Structure 1
């Protein structure tokens, strides 16, 4: 069994044949392991319960003026490389660059096409938080209010006393192990609750959450005072969508359609992985096409406006770009030495308005207002967090493409 394969190499016969040979079926606990993830990330409907985030009646046009950029050269972490070589080395499934009001790059690999829905993992967090931004602007949600004001049941768990903004910035003190390759970690229990993995055979029954809400209520331990530290924990997004549902009386999936996906002008439905109670895995279970993820990036770039209509509040976007938030941790500074985290977006340089949506296994959206640029990449890295500088090489490649079109790195 090969560990994985690049686009330049022969594709492994994952889920091919009738019947599919046992060794090429998706492992029950390993949909995200190589080489299986190169198939599964584009076929999540065959692996999980899902619920559609409906598109609207109109589609936001994305005009194109595609350029051949494959031979554009730049300096990668390991030395000189080209755009095409970088895409191959970083297990790219699809990539798009929007620059100066048009699509200049749009490429698909590994069997993916324009209508293929790809899981975006933690880029889901930024979409979820943006829906919260709409509720905040409408006065439905108060970022300074305690989460228990909306959902009193949270007083029995670790979030008692935490505010909505602390959840948005991941500065609550709730203990949550985000170790992706540890079957005992709470992040694995989140996947178990969403139906993406079976529980380990030796896990005690009382430790197995039936739903995501069950897991939230199981988390009672804190390791810091709320507001004193930043720690990246996926469960914070699930807590946010729990509060949003309590504040509105509406399930999150149709809420996202009503507030964001339909008015944005998505060309296709998106969908979430959901648990047995129909609760969306809002931290990492969203699936969508490349172009629709680019539409979200474009909407952020254009201050929330689609054809003159305010879809995302401008106050929310300004808060993402320049919000007063200085908490970060060592892991964050290793990635972005002058960066921060705000409203479930990564800010690579606090002195600039650019922001990133990031998901494990190589899902990225860069929005850079100073260069009128949106860059989207969907990938299937063999590991959740690459030890190799895949993200840095992609950002350097985007800089090179932008420079070739008259926009130097800033």
Structure 2
């Protein structure tokens, strides 16, 4: 399969059983160049469960403008425009200002009804569902995780609190290196049903489902609450917690508490493992407009269509909660940034926050400027300082132009 930018002359993504007539590689289907197709066709790659929308979708007001010429200085010092950014590897880009859509564009074969893999934007959606359960008195962020999941007493999460899991400040050892085929996150890909067992791993050497894999993590490398360390497995633990406390599946709970009340226009879905347990750290797939709807609901204090869907106390805690822990690697990119409740705080001096996922997934919420930006992409790299920087620079330029 040929890898291409949106501006290249090759044919755009094709819909069908396989991308451009080529068989998907079992281990690399979620990586470049295959992600240009698979991120919009996850149901042809792994099993999924539907997150249903409700009967009443909220309408967006539109005041469309041509923002393609909005200019900014790129990461390498060269002049760029929004059109240049979108000509790269964007699949969908939406700008909403004061509750109205100003720009909405689709690329690489994506349409308004397409569901796109959100990668770690899924974490913010999952954590917000936890926030709703907290507001309803079913969870206490200060309580130990073992109060809700007693099985964790034999794992590294013994004595860890729910808030520490939400902030990724537990001491549980979990190595997340997307380029290492033998690290913990690679084993999670097998356990979650995303990948076959790698040839170098002996059969039975890794649990074949997410919950058993969680229970196998018994080692701590730091005291709980002593440091921040980005580990996707913490979110998957929350997925199990949500199902246990709600008494129904994760997908049904998210639908009932968030997706339907929020007025989304398209059902979402989430990938599931061999036992039906969802990969909530990165396996949710949703439309561009519904990603923006989530951001707009957060921006509007949790209200959607006259309903209080997301607790205002949860949103205030995201914006102003304890932001004391971060690590040096991420501080290099967000010098005054933090992480709270599985949202990225770009600058603690401002109320702006983001949901971020690898390969270029982003929901950006700026309450000061009444601005929401949703960006879904299929970058060739899982992480790119250059593309991250250019995206934020573009958003800053858009915000400046609108103000």
Aligned residue for 2:93, secondary structure, equals strand
Aligned residue for 2:218, secondary structure, equals coil
- Is 1:277 aligned to 2:279, yes or no? no
- Is 1:399 aligned to 2:370, yes or no? no
Q: What stretches of structure 1 of length at least 5 have no aligned partner?
A: none
Question: Cα offset for 1:401?
Answer: 1.9
* Residue matched to 2:108: 110
Aligned residue for 1:207, secondary structure, equals coil
- Is 1:327 aligned to 2:332, yes or no? no
Count of equivalent residues: 402
Alpha-carbon spacing, 1:352–1:283, altered in 2? closer, same or farther (3 Å): same
Superposition RMSD in Å: 1.7
Per-residue Cα deviation, 1:369-402 (whole angstroms, up to 9, x for no partner)? 000000010000011112x411111111112222
Alpha-carbon spacing, 1:130–1:19, altered in 2? closer, same or farther (3 Å): closer
In structure 1, C-alpha distance between the alignment counterparts of 2:144 and 2:195, rounded to whole Å: 33
Per-residue Cα deviation, 1:77-97 (whole angstroms, up to 9, x for no partner)? 1221111012223x1000000
- Is 1:232 aligned to 2:225, yes or no? no
8 Å Cα contact 1:122-1:357 kept in structure 2? yes
**More deviation in 202-211 or 71-80?**
202-211
Alpha-carbon spacing, 1:15–1:211, altered in 2? closer, same or farther (3 Å): farther
Question: Cα offset for 1:18?
Answer: 9.3
Per-residue Cα deviation, 1:16-71 (whole angstroms, up to 9, x for no partner)? 8999887x221111112222110000000100100000000101111111111112
* Residue matched to 2:60: 62
Question: Cα offset for 1:177?
Answer: 0.9
8 Å Cα contact 2:323-2:348 kept in structure 1? no
* Residue matched to 1:31: 29
State how 1:201-216 maps to structure 2 within 5 Å: 201-216=199-214
State how 1:304-383 maps to structure 2 within 5 Å: 304-383=302-381
Aligned residue for 1:237, secondary structure, equals helix
* Residue matched to 2:167: 169
State how 1:175-194 maps to structure 2 within 5 Å: 175-194=173-192
In structure 2, C-alpha distance between the alignment counterparts of 1:367 and 1:259, rounded to whole Å: 21
Per-residue Cα deviation, 1:243-275 (whole angstroms, up to 9, x for no partner)? 222222222110000010000011011000011
* Residue matched to 1:80: 79
Aligned residue for 2:62, secondary structure, equals coil
Q: Which TM-score applies when normalising by structure 2?
A: 0.96
8 Å Cα contact 1:14-1:36 kept in structure 2? no
Question: Cα offset for 1:321?
Answer: 0.3
In structure 1, C-alpha distance between the alignment counterparts of 2:122 and 2:12, rounded to whole Å: 29
Q: What stretches of structure 2 of length at least 5 have no aligned partner?
A: none
Alpha-carbon spacing, 1:123–1:206, altered in 2? closer, same or farther (3 Å): same
Question: Cα offset for 1:142?
Answer: 0.5
8 Å Cα contact 1:192-1:199 kept in structure 2? yes
Q: Which TM-score applies when normalising by structure 1?
A: 0.95
Quick one: which of 195, 198, 223 aligns to 1:197? 195
Aligned residue for 1:389, secondary structure, equals helix
8 Å Cα contact 1:15-1:26 kept in structure 2? no
* Residue matched to 2:260: 262
